[in-house]
Chain A
Amino acid sequence: MTAKLTHPTRRALLKSAAGAALATPFLSIRAAAETVNLSMLAWYGHAEPDVVGEFEELHNVKFIPKYYTGGDNMLGLIAQSPPGTYDVILSDAEYVQQLNAAGYIEELDPNDYAFDDFFPEFQRFPGHWKDGKLYSVITRFGFLGISYNAEVLSESDAASYNIFGDSRLTGKLGHFDWHLPNLGQISLLNGNPDPFDLSDEAWQQVQDSTMALRGQVGGFFDYGGTFSSLKNGQMTAFAGIGDWITGVLEKNGANVRTAIPEEGGLQWTESFSIGKGSRNQEMARKWIQYITSPEGQAKSADMAAYPALIPNKKGWVQLNDANPAEAKRQNMVLGSRNAIDLIREGRIKYRQLPVQQSLEDWNDFWSDYKGA
């Protein structure tokens, strides 16, 4: 048999060559006719094989990702491209309203998506709906608290934002370089019930409390810098981040974690929308259905780039079956005290854009703080 394959007779060779030649056009026609290129505008990691691989194979789709860093960057990219450039758009909750106001996203049909499987808190997420119409479907979320090096600080140390002023953190407190989560946490420390809806007086107090921490700060870091300075122990604690950073490090063996202090934590929320004028709306809809299904949700929770909590209750069940360790690590075990209880106890506030001040005021203060 091997001899036949390595030294085929003339007839066998002709036969297989002819067969291959006849079959080739069918293969390429099939492939060309069905592969859909789906463009995705998202944070890094959302269109990587560990998340989209199975869907790509299932529906003969190829994702064309465009990754952004931050909501402003995302809005800028959409503003500068012709309508229909992006089929699916992943956005943080506070920017969905702006996407909608600018007319960048399509209205969605709520019946297309399995909202009944979601925890009640996430069935009508604020900002995703406007005048009873749906514009974006929540896919994942996470909490921001005090991220710390567990070799230096204990869990009880990290039980209050007051630890940021502790002498052990002088020169060892890192900031993720974005004003919204950092100032929101200081606002929680100041006891504001809604950390982003601040009177001028409360806003001034947040600025004063923040400025008082300036001497503690060891640096202002981007995504990569945050990772490395937590990993090599250069920073002992971080403000403005959560398990989306420490979870990745923890899974790689670093002794760092995130605690939600008694003053409360913030929640970031990601959702998918369909870009206005997209030519692949059918496939975009299928993608959102997939990523919010139990299978898609379990993948999303354990995404390699950064892990997250998931809003689909059936997704929790799936995750607990497929990956119980990760479900436990992220506190997503049904029947015990879990992440949803934190929300129900009122300890988690949604991250939002400032309500009474302009975004520019917050920006300006943040650059003053950095330069001080």
Chain B
Amino acid sequence: MNTRPSLFSLTFSLPLLIWQLAFFLFPLAFLVALSFWTVRNFQMQPDFDTVNWVKIYSRSVFWDAYFRTLLLASASAVLISLTAFPASYAISFKLGENAKRWMIFVLIIPFFTSYLVRVYSLQVFLSDAGILNAFLGYLGLGPYSMLNNSFGTLTGYATLCLPLVILLQVFSLNFVNRDLVEAAHNMRCGRLRTVLEVIIPSAKAGLVIAGLFAFILSFGDFVSPLYLGGGNPPTLSIMITDITKSGQQWPRAAVVALTMIATLLTVAFAAIKFAYREAGK
């Protein structure tokens, strides 16, 4: 067996490796180094000082923001997964081939316009005198406060993640073996029980990864908490911009960023391990 990689395989695998090194690993290493630098008179100076870590980690406002962001992103992953599932199930199991293709096309359309534009236009729907409250007013309800709070932030997260989560769920449900569903029905398993005990376990990996995507995108998102959540109260991404704005404290912002990256890596590894764990083990 020839152990030397062929020119063919290198041509295709090297660019990816170089890309990862240049645009992920090196910047990450730089971010670690940066977190030990100091700032004097608005100028960053190479240094090895733990002051930034101590300063950020000793402030309760950081931990409040951290757990708030964690909670919001988890809520976003769970709520969006739950909202998406009935739609994905219907698309995958109930629609004909042609209708399915159309639905997938429809789910891709939101990506044609910028996320920032979509979020800005949502303000028109969610504000106190906005379209939704006007509509609820006709029904004798409201007005409800939907902007500049966590509801606004979560609506923004859903704008960002919902189409993607439905798509990922649809693709994983498409791979569920239809014979298993039929077998369950033959054994007089009810519809709901079939979904819970046959379909969801078979599509578990895809469903978990869809939820993971929602978590990752929401955890780092800046646009929704600022423009729909009103920065009230702030998430970690808003905190990063605040820190860089006040006194050019990029090293302290690096500490927050590294904490976010560590959290995302931990959650991603745990989710993937859970997704691919064999039943019974």
Residues of A within 8 A of B (CB): 69-70, 72-73, 75-76, 79-80, 102, 171, 177, 179, 217-222, 225, 228-229, 232-234, 359-360, 363-364, 366-368, 370-372
Contacts and interface: CB of A to CB of B under 8 A. Distances in A.
A218 B148 contact: yes
Contact of B127 (A73, A222, A233): A233
Given A79-B43, A234-B147, A73 B245 contact: yes
Interface in B219-278: 226-227, 229-234, 239, 242, 245-248
Given A219-B232, A234-B147, A234-B148, A76 B248 contact: yes
A21 to B, nearest CB: 47
Contacts of B148: 171, 218-219, 229, 234
Given A79-B43, A218-B230, A220-B232, A363 B129 contact: no
Given A79-B41, A359-B247, A367-B242, A217 B232 contact: yes
Given A72-B245, A72-B246, A232-B123, A79 B42 contact: yes
Contact of A70 (B43, B59, B245): B245
A281 B59 CA distance: 46
Nearest to A172: B128
B145 A72 contact: no
Contacts of B61: 367-368, 370-371
Contacts of B242: 177, 367, 370
B247 A232 contact: no
A73 B247 CA distance: 8
A367 B242 CA distance: 8
9 contacts: A72-B245, A73-B245, A102-B41, A218-B230, A220-B232, A228-B123, A234-B128, A367-B61, A372-B233
B231 A219 contact: yes
A140 B135 CA distance: 46
Contact of A232 (B124, B234, B245, B246): B124
B51 to A, nearest CB: 12
A219 B233 CA distance: 8
B230 A219 contact: yes
A360 B233 CA distance: 20
A72 B42 contact: yes
Contact of A177 (B124, B129, B231, B239): B231
Nearest to B120: A228
A232 B233 contact: no
B197 interface: no
B248 A72 contact: yes
A232 B131 CA distance: 12
B128 A220 contact: no
Interface residues of B, number: 31
B127 A218 contact: no
Nearest to A225: B227
A233 B124 CA distance: 11
Given A70-B245, A79-B43, A234 B232 contact: no
Contacts of B127: 232-234
Nearest to B61: A371
Given A219-B229, A229-B148, 14 more contacts: A69-B245, A72-B246, A73-B245, A73-B248, A75-B42, A76-B248, A179-B246, A225-B226, A225-B227, A232-B123, A359-B246, A368-B61, A370-B232, A371-B65
Contacts of A76: 42, 248
A182 to B, nearest CB: 13
B234 A220 contact: yes
Nearest to B145: A171
B37 to A, nearest CB: 13
Contacts of A179: 246
9 closest Cβ pairs, A-B complex: A219-B230, A76-B248, A219-B148, A371-B61, A220-B231, A75-B42, A363-B246, A79-B43, A219-B232
B248 A79 contact: yes
B41 A222 contact: no
B49 interface: no
B182 interface: no
Nearest to B63: A371
B212 to A, nearest CB: 27
A370 B124 contact: no
Contacts of A228: 120, 123
A370 B59 CA distance: 13
B64 A371 contact: yes
